[in-house]
Structure 1
Amino acid sequence: MTEETTTLTEQVPPPVREWPAHDLTGTEFDPVLADLMREGPLTRIRLPHGEGWAWLATRYEDVKLITNDPRFSRTEVTRRQVTRLAPNFAPRPGSLAWADQPDHNRLRKPVAGAFTVGAMKRLRPRAQQILDELLDGVLRDGPPADLVERVLEPFPITVVSEVMGVPAEDREQVHAWTRQIISTSGGSEAADRAKNGMYGWIRDTIRARAHSTDEDVYALLGAAVGRGEISEEEAVGLAGPLQIGGEAVTHNCGQMLFLLLTRPELRERMREPQARGRVLDELLRYIPHRTSVGLARIALEDVELHGHRIGAGDPVYVSYLAANRDPDVFPDPDRIDPDRDPNPHVAFGNGAHYCTGAVLARLQTELLVDTVLERLPGLRLAVPADQVVWRRKTMIRGPQTLPVTW
């Protein structure tokens, strides 16, 4: 801990605040989270499901500290019930999300080669071809079109499926499972059915690819199981979250394009090749890409932070959304500043649990935004901005449809 974040006098714990899962429209920042940020750097929350309450850290430096500190464990969460957003909680052995070191590095190693910068450079021409074919169909059919249905959904799921090694005939079923898993509608029974279906399919696929010499993820996992580096159960747990990853790209890009189509000055900046990277980074920082918070950690020992004692066994959440709006790091954080530099956002996470597919997600985001704007001249919303329908009862926010014309 740094000297500034510790004190010898323990403060009275903050009150426990209820944090319901509001269905927010547009790119509105969660008002509950905004209140919690104003209340203090460390607050306490109760989410719709699970048991008890949890600490919540919202300041940038605290988020980075907690996500890098081995005194806060993800694995320990799997042994108990904690307050959470998701209605269903069934962590699987092998999931990187719940692994602490050194297991995390052992599990990540078999698939790391599929997500390197070099692998993404090799993938880029094929990804561009997939995207161009989708936009060829949009242009052929003419306006109007729903960008989510025609481009934003099929592109990431096709690219992720190719990286993973999903046969073409199975992709629609896999996509249906992933949609249900990240939804909060349907309750735990629907989520259970989707998880059981998808993870059963993943197990069969890994077994079938055990002797493959291909370089897709399922072949790499099959080979790693065959060499005894990881168990089959761990391989299945590893693959699931990677397979779901395309959903985030769909909805993040939906939010980005909505902002670009409703803020002409941002779209003009995207026309400047040298500015595109900065604009995309600023949009990644700004968009509220998820509802509430993600996965908890458990304090393995007493930790003092901002005068509060986080007791051993206490659950702790961090908010990357809040960290990306910390005014001490991002001046005027509620404004989209296309010239923000530096921009050390944590949209892809931090520490050991930094997103495994971050390079792939960035590649898809760049291609999607650039290609859509370039190939659909005069692109604009086909309905008033306040009539765009946004997703409901989901952990990943974004437009349900994005009707456009050109």
Structure 2
Amino acid sequence: MTTEITAPTTTETTAPAATEPLAPVCEAAPPVRDWPALELEGTDFDPVLAALMTEGPVTRIRLPYGEGWAWLATRYEDVRTVTNDPRFSRAEVTRRQVTRLAPHFQPRPGSLAWADQPDHNRLRKPLAGAFTVGAMKRLRPRAQEILDELVDGVVRDGPPADLVERVLEPFPITVVSEVMGVPEADRDRVHAWTRQIISTSGGVEAAGAAKQGLYGWITEAVRARADSPGDDVYSLLGVAVARGEIGEEEAVGLAGPLQIGGEAVTHNCGQMLFLMLTRPELMARMRERPAERGPVLDELLRWIPHRSTVGLARIALEDVELADGTRITAGDPVYVSYLAANRDPAVFPGPDRIDPDRGPNPHLAFGHGAHYCTGAVLARLQTELLVDTLLDRLPGLRLAVPAEGVEWRRKTMIRGPRTLPAAW
């Protein structure tokens, strides 16, 4: 799942009111729509995004923070174009105060999220070996062992159990920590930092403190592993810095978003399990046809509203005309919505329906183009293990509270249940 998070520390004011003047645009430009970060319950699709999708394939939006307005592409074809066209730059955003969801903004050197080619490939190269399909196959037995230990505890203690607290949160964090090379003694504080970083609560001060703590720790880890023979990410980065392939600041900027990535698996799997636990026909399908769970997970990845509003912007480096004739002018900020693209009826018939037999299913849940999620294979591995293990080891798994009693995370960029009380 794409998890594009920045946790900056500069103080920002809210976006200008709708009555204030905007940058000049051509008369044919659509109106600017304010898009607040709604506190949505359950797996409801954002009604603001749904309305924007009906207004046109390309609209204009203003988010709660930053400055001005930005284009928003919602159609599948346009999303793929913007995310794979070098005329749309991520690096250029670092020199602007673009309208955005986060109240804090300070990109770090080396962050893949803000790199254009050829820097993007140069930065990604030291990490490549840690996230290949082969590396994930080697990781699978250890990941299953970690998960089995957690579920053993749940079975031993008996129902009810909060699946988020007991399994969905500790499992991805532990696996990511092992891939990254975080010592067990440091994992709790690293997790506390990453959880604060994806939150929109606490404001600039809390986010800044978490960012300072996490990136300070990462800096020390990279420095300490300059001669490490290990294959964990911090060792790979430490050796790459020692060889002069990347700078230390770049190594730290590379590692941060990867360390945060475990949070996305927790929340996304929480949504998937909530859907199974509240839709008997979906749970029956998963139990009765275990060999065909993979395509169902793809459909759930397509369908779940995994984030609030949108991720990171791009800036048009020159005038670009999209397929519908919309002209993006050089210098204009542009957002894409993978959530909207995944519900484009031109690509996914009956897009609002969960169809376990949907095929083909070219969803964009992990992004597209150069910024396709680095940890996508790892995220998919963890998702498969979580669903298979919980369904196979907890017969009759069901919610221990009414569906409306499930608590959902608030003031966060990644949506998901805060608790998932279950019995079996």
| TM-score, normalised via structure 2 length | 0.93
Which whole-Å deviations, capped at 9, do the CAs of 1:234-281 have from their partners, x for residues lacking one?
A: 000000000000000000000000000111111121121332011000
- Within 5 Å, which residues of 2 pair with 1:250-289? 250-271=266-287, 272-289=289-306
Equivalent residues, number: 397
Q: Distance in 1 between matches of 2:253 and 2:166?
A: 31
Q: Secondary structure at the match of 1:393?
A: coil
Q: Distance in 2 between matches of 1:104 and 1:270?
A: 39
Q: Which residue of 1 aligns with 2:320?
A: 303
Contact kept in structure 2, 1:74 and 1:296, CA below 8 Å: yes
Which whole-Å deviations, capped at 9, do the CAs of 1:297-330 have from their partners, x for residues lacking one?
A: 0000111222332111110000000000000000
Q: Which residue of 2 aligns with 1:238?
A: 254
Q: Secondary structure at the match of 1:191?
A: helix
Q: Distance in 1 between matches of 2:195 and 2:48?
A: 26
Matched, 1:66 2:82: yes
Q: Structure 2: which 5+ residue stretches go unaligned?
A: 1-25
Q: Distance in 1 between matches of 2:218 and 2:314?
A: 27
Q: Could you tell me which amino acid in structure 1 is paired with residue 250 of structure 2?
A: E
Contact kept in structure 2, 1:390 and 1:400, CA below 8 Å: yes
Contact kept in structure 2, 1:382 and 1:405, CA below 8 Å: yes
Q: Distance in 2 between matches of 1:46 and 1:268?
A: 42
Which whole-Å deviations, capped at 9, do the CAs of 1:126-163 have from their partners, x for residues lacking one?
A: 00000000000011111100000000000000000000
Deviation at 1:11, TM superposition (A): 6.7
Q: Secondary structure at the match of 2:309?
A: coil
Q: Which residue of 2 aligns with 1:112?
A: 128
- Within 5 Å, which residues of 2 pair with 1:157-196? 157-196=173-212
- Within 5 Å, which residues of 2 pair with 1:108-147? 108-147=124-163
Matched, 1:292 2:309: yes
Q: 1:348 aligns with which of 337, 349, 366?
A: 366
Q: 2:379 aligns with which of 361, 364, 368?
A: 361
Q: Distance in 1 between matches of 2:423 and 2:201?
A: 31
Q: Distance in 2 between matches of 1:269 and 1:347?
A: 22
Q: Distance in 2 between matches of 1:176 and 1:390?
A: 18
Q: Secondary structure at the match of 2:281?
A: helix
Q: 1:375 aligns with which of 381, 393, 398?
A: 393
Q: Which residue of 1 aligns with 2:15?
A: none
Q: Which residue of 2 aligns with 1:3?
A: none
Q: Distance in 1 between matches of 2:104 and 2:253?
A: 16
Q: Distance in 1 between matches of 2:183 and 2:40?
A: 36
Which whole-Å deviations, capped at 9, do the CAs of 1:202-233 have from their partners, x for residues lacking one?
A: 00000011110000000000000001000000
Q: Distance in 2 between matches of 1:85 and 1:377?
A: 41
Matched, 1:333 2:321: no
Q: Distance in 2 between matches of 1:199 and 1:259?
A: 36
Contact kept in structure 2, 1:11 and 1:307, CA below 8 Å: no
Deviation at 1:120, TM superposition (A): 0.1
Q: Could you tell me which amino acid in structure 2 is paired with residue 312 of structure 1?
A: A
Q: Could you tell me which amino acid in structure 2 is paired with residue 287 of structure 1?
A: I
Q: Secondary structure at the match of 1:326?
A: coil
Matched, 1:28 2:44: yes
Q: Distance in 1 between matches of 2:197 and 2:212?
A: 10
Q: Distance in 1 between matches of 2:135 and 2:416?
A: 28
Name segments (4+ residues, structure 1) moved above 4 Å.
Answer: none
Deviation at 1:164, TM superposition (A): 0.1
Which whole-Å deviations, capped at 9, do the CAs of 1:27-70 have from their partners, x for residues lacking one?
A: 00000000000000000000001000000000001000110000
Q: Distance in 2 between matches of 1:371 and 1:133?
A: 11
Q: Could you tell me which amino acid in structure 1 is paired with residue 101 of structure 2?
A: L
Q: 1:396 aligns with which of 384, 405, 414?
A: 414
Q: Secondary structure at the match of 2:54?
A: helix
Q: Distance in 1 between matches of 2:201 and 2:219?
A: 26
Which range moves more in the overlay, 47-56 or 306-315?
A: 306-315
Q: Which residue of 2 aligns with 1:249?
A: 265
Q: Secondary structure at the match of 2:417?
A: coil
Q: Which residue of 1 aligns with 2:220?
A: 204
Contact kept in structure 2, 1:11 and 1:308, CA below 8 Å: no
Q: Could you tell me which amino acid in structure 2 is paired with residue 181 of structure 1?
A: I
Q: Which residue of 1 aligns with 2:57?
A: 41
Q: Could you tell me which amino acid in structure 1 is paired with residue 372 of structure 2?
A: Y
Q: Distance in 2 between matches of 1:11 and 1:156?
A: 49
1:11–1:370 distance in 2 versus 1, CA, 3 Å: farther
- Within 5 Å, which residues of 2 pair with 1:146-157? 146-157=162-173
Q: Distance in 2 between matches of 1:328 and 1:32?
A: 21
Contact kept in structure 2, 1:12 and 1:308, CA below 8 Å: no
Q: Secondary structure at the match of 1:110?
A: helix
